[in-house]
Structure 1
Amino acid sequence: MKSTKTNKKIFRISQNIVVTTIFLDAFFLILVMAVLAFIYMDRLEADLPFGIEILFLVFLGVIALFMVVVALILTKKIDELFAPIDDIVSAIEEIKKGNYDIQISLQENNELKVIGDAVNQMSQEISKQVQLVYECFAFDSLTGLKNFKTSAQEIDDTLFKQNDKIALCLIEINNLKSIGVTKGQMVVEELMQNFADKISACIGNNDHIYSHSPNEIVFLIQGFRSLERVETSVTKLLDLFNSPIDIKNFKVEVHLNIGISIYPSDGKDVATLIKKCDTALFKARESGLGKYAFYNEQLTRDVNYRQQISEQLALAVKNQQLYLKYQPLIDNKNEIYGFEALVRWKSPTFGEISPQVFVANAEESHLIVPIGNWILREACQAQVELKKRFDKQFVISINVSPVQLLQKDFILNLRDIIRETEIDPNCLALEITEGVLIDSSIYLEEVIDYLHKIGAKIALDDFGTGYASLTYLKQIPFDNLKIDKTFVDGIFGPKKDHAIIAMIIQLAHSLDIKVVAEGVEKRRQYEYLKQIATDIFQGYLFSKPLTFDEAAHYVDQFYKVAKSKRIDVFAGSDFQE
């Protein structure tokens, strides 16, 4: 902009210099002629009559007038000559401002007209390209939905200037990436089209839907009086995807979470509201698949806390602030089957931090990979040491994060750890969650094949809390199945969890899978679980998680008691909070 104005100023100065030069040349010529004439007349003064002098002066005046007229005509011609150039410069300046409708109209049929026509053509081409770019960014090419980010200003200027309440709902398909890995990109594309169509079909007349990211859609609910309307709409939307969708001969399960913020109570502009939606979405993910959450101020404090945890966690790994505890696993023959290794963190800043908080944080930041490798090595060393002390083959059971398990170098790292620690692979059990099965890949099959090849055990953790189908129990050769604590807690409750547990045990045994009951805290829970043929027990009824030295002492004391009396001694009373 500044450059164009400078060029126009230089152009005008050049034009004025030309005109001024013509005037100065004329004036100088007249002045010279006058001086020469007066010198010549002075010499001939005696011989010339007075009338001749007057006539000569008139002649000089006519010449001067003629030259002035010529100068004025030249000035006009110069203006006419420079005017098209001025128009071209002005047009280019407008194009730089983004006004692509400008057109130069020149009557001359010369080089300047050629330049003007070229500028017009350039303006039209730029206009077409700008429109194409706008359409690319304004609409999602896959779903055809408006792009939320490019529509933000429009939403601010129109919807948010009204007095209506508006709910921003950020909808996330959180297993889209794994669907792409296991079923292919074509399935993902058709899924997103199907997803957008289903949501579009169920929205109200005043509601709006936008594409936000490859796996996110924004749904705007407008003009509601109470949050019940929002909850009804969101629940209806989630119900659309309760069942798998048929796409290209696949049954595709869609895992949704929704974060919600409200205009104007949570914010008065798009940027603020979508940020708070994202915060609420984090809470919804924590609550489980198919859950939604409304934003509130406590969520922001929670996010800030987690951010601080993330920063501290990187230091914790570096400064060796993490440590392991070991919870005994007791079999139905009153023997110690083994121990589950549980990671703990005592932060100098926050004190003891719940594994539920920092493990999830580590998975998001991928710190879980170095942490997981450290846990594997430390737990294997502990197993080897217990074997040396007591000459018994205790199984060490270790939780493996899906993030760590699906790393391409997982098998290589595990092989190195087994070699370095000299653990017998038959004494190693890796616990995986149901989520890994749903988001499984070809590489997971390689990992499972390798574990069975070396004799290591595979345990399915927290069975019954997720979406895993019973089909997975037939497809994957699990050695152990761990019944989640929530079922154990409900054994004597009204929901008939005891019948569910009995069915799970019967099914597992028919597939030659051992059953581990987690969270056993009461003597009568233990008695019932033993009665229905549970294989292994774990919980505070037998022992809290122990340090390595405490675990070694536990083993020492356990085997000093007669086998028939061990349960009475080590599980003599109900665990109290």
Structure 2
Amino acid sequence: MTPSAPAAPRPAARLTFALTVILLAAHLLWVLVAWGSEGFRLTVSALIYIPTFLLGGATCILNAPRAPHDASAWRTLGAGLVSFGLGQGIYAYLLLVLKDPPFPSAADALFLLALALYAWGFLRFRRTPGTTLERLRLGVDVAVIIAAVGVFAWKYVLYGVLTGYAGQPLAAIIGLTYPFGDLALLSVLLLVALRGGAPLGARDATLGFGLACLIVADQAFIVLGANGTYQEGSWVDVFWAAGATLFALASFAPTTTQRPSRRPALVQHTAPYLPYLALGAAFALLISGDRSTSAAQRGVLWGTVLVTALVVVRQIIAFTENARLTDALRRLSGELEGRVQERTRELDVANTALRGLTEDLELKVRERTAELEASQARLAHQAQHDVLTGLPNRALFQDRVERGIASAAREGGRLAVMFIDLDGFKAVNDTLGHAAGDELLREVASRLQDNVRRNDTVARLGGDEFTVMLLGVNTAQDAASVAQKILRALREPIHLADGAAHVSGSIGVSLYPQDGADATDLQRHADIAMYRAKQGGKNNITFYAPEMNAVDAARSAVEQHLRGALDRHELTLAYQPLHNAQGLVVGVEALLRWQNAALGNVPPTTFIPVAEDTGLIIPIGQYVLNEACRQLAAWRAHGTAVDRMSVNVSPAQFAREDFVDIVRRALQHHRLDGRDLELELTERLIIRDVPGVSRKMSELRALGVRLSIDDFGAGNSALNYLMTLPVNTLKVDRAFVQALDQTPGAHRIVQAIVALGHALGLDVVAEGVETPAQLLQVRELGCERTQGFLLGQPVPPENIRA
């Protein structure tokens, strides 16, 4: 605990104390320079310190609330001062009025009450509580010191007082009570201060000085009074006033809470020896006295015997306390040893558990380290490998090609880079789902690895694109042989969970060092060669040639300008009429045209493949559908009677899940019926996903939309599909129509197609008619409609006339 902040003294306490100090100063001045008559001096001397005691007592009582724990002690001390002041008032009355105050008198009762209140007040100051033996020892110590001091008092004061009041037993008793009471008070104050656990602070020191002043005054009064030499207004009275003032001053001292505190070293080491010093002093007085048997010497002897007896009692108490402490220490030592043993056992158990935990922790750390290393290895592998197939990815393939080039450069060797794009993969993905597509890609990866050497590298770049690096290639034929093996492996049916799938591949090949000096160039040139292989009919192998750069640059330019063509309104539609057998216009076909400021008039055969490869065909196809419907509605609104609008649909456009909805919204937006629209589909689109195509065709036919197979006979025609799909029209490929004038067999082919279409209940359209002979033959063969430059070229919408 720390010292508590004392409450501020009350203003009334400050005032009473200030008056007390003023009265003390006036008293001192009066003693030094007393003037006036003898009666005046006697009156002032008898009355001057009465208010000093009353005001000092009031100060102690008013300051009592400042120290809640010691409030009763201060009130008791204040009451003692007031009692002394009242007693002095009675004494002054007896002196001034009766002229000869008796001894003892009523005033002595109040004086003795003041001594008792002082003692009671000192004892009520709060101290650290002790044990019974400690309190008993303290009492014996007080008794020893009182007895020793009493021996000296008997020798030098009390015996004289007793002799002076011979024949007056009550006066002698009262006279002896004052010095004994003063000595007892001083002993109680000192022992409580020194042995109570608190320092000898400002309060105790001030109270000690005040009590010393009172003792000096009392002893001087008794001695002088016994000798008959005491006079009112002498220096003795100043000590009484000073004692009262110091008591009042002590009430202003800072208060302390109950706490142990270190005392001065001298006091701390001296206090336990005070009883023995008192005994030694008593024996010294006894030895130094004469050897007579006078009453004074006998008093010293018996006093010394009493002090000795009390010291013996103190020693017995000390021995008893030491024995108790020894037993307690032995008991505590046993308990401590037991606790140490118990704690040792607990520590052993804890250490055992800790060792177990440490071993578990080490094991877990090793396991976690192994997991982290495995995880890092997996992450490193995933960073350089394709997740689906486990093949190296683009980054790792690039690194291996660079390493292969470095090795070939050192050894003067060659290597080949192949770029492989699967043909038909999208149809499998769209038809059988992505899970089947993933399974197919894993099988393709396995077949590619089975057809190259272990030191060659197969990688997947993404989608259906693979790359292969062949090391140690001596000639282009070596690379071609491996490419042929790969194509044969790819053409083999791939058995999936949902059925067999068929794909092929387009392979582009570049060679080091003639086709590139670094990995980037080799891969780019192999990619260019792969696109040339696709353009050459797919399922093909093409080696890179320098002139392909020009083609690739041109294709890149087409792609770059095509991306903004719609926004720049560069794409337009031209319309080519379709005639019936009588030569009347029965419909038109919408044909896409592109006029670019930088590239000029770009043919559809140039930009349509680019649009399909880049995905731009989706927004372009939607634009064509909406614009064609808008134009048909506009013609009819202006009185131009066009029966039907034919629109070409790309495979990517038709594969969209919402394609039927797109067609429906276009018809509704332009207020057209389904029979006003004919969609032209390629054979390649039909055989890709027969169930899905059939479902969408049925939905379109439900809208009334007519469906036509465009360029029939140019691809791998599957006749069984014609029996199941809801198709309305067959369009004979222009290559057969234009061969009618040149190739005898062409007539029989066209005749067979027309007969097939009619047998299935389909209309037949001959496209690409450019000469009268061709027109005559297709009409004779039974084609319901004809289309070609002979009858009408593609023209702007304003040139269409019904």
TM-score range, shorter chain: 0.5 to 0.7
- Determine the C-alpha separation between the residues in 2 that align with 1:396 and 1:152: 51
Aligned-residue offset at 1:263:
1.2
* Residue aligning to 2:722: 473
Aligned-residue offset at 1:452:
0.8
Equivalent AA in structure 2 for residue 410 of structure 1? F
SS in 1 for 2:427: helix
Alpha carbons 2:421, 2:466 under 8 Å: kept: yes
Matches within 5 A, 1:43-442: 124-137=370-383, 140=386, 143=389, 145-147=391-393, 149-158=395-404, 160-162=406-408, 163-203=412-452, 208-242=457-491, 244-248=493-497, 250-387=499-636, 392-440=641-689
SS in 2 for 1:521: coil
**Range with greater deviation from structure 2 (536-545 or 198-207):** 198-207
Aligned-residue offset at 1:116:
10
Over 3 Å counting, the alpha-carbon distance change for 1:390 and 1:229 in structure 2 is farther
Aligned-residue offset at 1:349:
2.0
Match for 1:451 among 691, 695, 700? Answer: 700
Equivalent AA in structure 2 for residue 230 of structure 1? A
**Range with greater deviation from structure 2 (112-121 or 138-147):** 112-121
SS in 2 for 1:337: strand
The structure with more radius of gyration: 2
Aligned-residue offset at 1:454:
1.9
- Determine the C-alpha separation between the residues in 1 that align with 2:705 and 2:528: 40
Greater strand content: 1
Aligned-residue offset at 1:391:
6.5
Q: Which has the higher contact order (CA 8 A, sep 6+)?
A: 1
Aligned-residue offset at 1:342:
0.7
- Determine the C-alpha separation between the residues in 1 that align with 2:608 and 2:400: 41
Aligned-residue offset at 1:545:
1.0
SS in 1 for 2:421: strand
- Determine the C-alpha separation between the residues in 2 that align with 1:491 and 1:235: 37
Over 3 Å counting, the alpha-carbon distance change for 1:133 and 1:468 in structure 2 is farther
Equivalent AA in structure 2 for residue 534 of structure 1? C
Deviations 1:447-490 (A, max 9, x none): 32232112111111122333452232122111111222223333
Alpha carbons 2:530, 2:541 under 8 Å: kept: yes
Alpha carbons 1:481, 1:515 under 8 Å: kept: yes
Calculate the TM-score normalised by the size of structure 1: 0.68
Alpha carbons 1:206, 1:223 under 8 Å: kept: no
Calculate the TM-score normalised by the size of structure 2: 0.50
Aligned-residue offset at 1:352:
0.8
Alpha carbons 2:405, 2:512 under 8 Å: kept: no
- Determine the C-alpha separation between the residues in 2 that align with 1:351 and 1:197: 47
- Determine the C-alpha separation between the residues in 2 that align with 1:223 and 1:234: 15
Over 3 Å counting, the alpha-carbon distance change for 1:539 and 1:227 in structure 2 is farther
**Range with greater deviation from structure 2 (309-318 or 506-515):** 309-318
Structure 2 residue runs of 5 or longer lacking an equivalent are: 1-354
- Determine the C-alpha separation between the residues in 1 that align with 2:713 and 2:464: 27
- Determine the C-alpha separation between the residues in 1 that align with 2:447 and 2:626: 48
- Determine the C-alpha separation between the residues in 1 that align with 2:432 and 2:461: 23
Equivalent AA in structure 2 for residue 258 of structure 1? I
Aligned-residue offset at 1:387:
4.1
Over 3 Å counting, the alpha-carbon distance change for 1:186 and 1:323 in structure 2 is closer
Equivalent AA in structure 2 for residue 149 of structure 1? A
Structure 1 residue runs of 5 or longer lacking an equivalent are: 1-108, 556-577
Equivalent AA in structure 2 for residue 312 of structure 1? H
Matches within 5 A, 1:424-573: 424-440=673-689, 444-491=693-740, 496-552=745-801, 555=802
Deviations 1:519-546 (A, max 9, x none): 2223333333233222322111222211
Equivalent AA in structure 2 for residue 284 of structure 1? A
Equivalent AA in structure 1 for residue 721 of structure 2? Y
SS in 2 for 1:150: helix
Deviations 1:61-107 (A, max 9, x none): xxxxxxxxxxxxxxxxxxxxxxxxxxxxxxxxxxxxxxxxxxxxxxx
Aligned-residue offset at 1:339:
1.1
Alpha carbons 1:181, 1:441 under 8 Å: kept: no
C-alpha RMSD of the superposition: 3.4
- Determine the C-alpha separation between the residues in 2 that align with 1:235 and 1:491: 37
- Determine the C-alpha separation between the residues in 2 that align with 1:373 and 1:147: 36
Alpha carbons 1:259, 1:292 under 8 Å: kept: yes
Alpha carbons 1:140, 1:211 under 8 Å: kept: yes
SS in 2 for 1:316: coil
- Determine the C-alpha separation between the residues in 1 that align with 2:694 and 2:361: 67
- Determine the C-alpha separation between the residues in 2 that align with 1:504 and 1:240: 35
Aligned-residue offset at 1:255:
3.8
Deviations 1:31-64 (A, max 9, x none): xxxxxxxxxxxxxxxxxxxxxxxxxxxxxxxxxx
Alpha carbons 1:338, 1:395 under 8 Å: kept: yes
Aligned-residue offset at 1:389:
5.6
Equivalent AA in structure 2 for residue 527 of structure 1? L
Aligned-residue offset at 1:139:
5.2
